[in-house]
Structure 1
Amino acid sequence: MKTTYIDFTDLGDYEDFYAQLKEKVTLPEFFGDNLDALYDFLTGFAELPLHLEFVNMSVEQLETFEDLLVTLEDAEEELEDFSFSYYLMQYEDEEGEVSED
């Protein structure tokens, strides 16, 4: 299964997300930068099997991109050969202990 990584370190909004997605995945020319188009792409045009992995998400980004996560959960339920996961950013506190954001 092909894994495509999307790094959320510098993503602030959906425009940033779609820009990075277009760098990593071959999307049709008619792709519109919206969640309906993303769902349609995944369920009809994506080269499967595919795993999307979101890394370095912050808690704030979980809220900002909540609709994206729901859309991907719906696609994951619909498709056998598609999956996704996301991971929160980790950082070291002043005592050197690793914490999740």
Structure 2
Amino acid sequence: MQTIYIDFTDIGDYEDFYAQLKEKLPLPEYFGENLDALADVITGELQMPLHLEFVNMSIDQLEIFEDLLTTLEDVEDEMEEFSFTYYLEQYEDEEDETEEEE
């Protein structure tokens, strides 16, 4: 299974997301940068099996990209050979910070 990592550290909006996606996936020239086009290209154009993994997402990005996550969940439900996951940025626990200050 091919795994594609999308790092959200430098992604602020959909334009940034699609720019990184185009670097990582062989999207067709006619690809329209919208969620319907993304679902269509995943279900009909890309080589399967495929796993997309979003890393370093912030809480704010969860809200900004809520429709994207929903679209990919729908595609995942529709296709056996496609999956995706997302991970939030890692922060130190407050407990760890307290120990360091002592």
User: How does the TM-score come out when normalised to structure 2?
Assistant: 0.90
Q: Which residue of 1 aligns with 2:74?
A: 74
CA distance in 1, matches of 2:96, 2:5: 27
Find out whether 1:65 has 2:62 as its counterpart: no
User: How does the TM-score come out when normalised to structure 1?
Assistant: 0.91
Percent same amino acid at aligned positions? 74
CA distance in 2, matches of 1:42, 1:62: 21
CA distance in 1, matches of 2:94, 2:81: 42
Gaps of 5+ in 2: 98-102
- For residues 41-76 of structure 1, the C-alpha deviation after alignment (integer angstroms, 9 at most, x for no partner) is 011101100000000000000000000000000100
Gaps of 5+ in 1: none
CA distance in 2, matches of 1:18, 1:60: 18
CA distance in 2, matches of 1:91, 1:40: 35
Q: Which residue of 1 aligns with 2:52?
A: 52
Structure with the bigger percentage of strand: 1
- For residues 17-58 of structure 1, the C-alpha deviation after alignment (integer angstroms, 9 at most, x for no partner) is 000000000001110000000000011101100000000000
SS of the residue 2:91 aligns to: strand
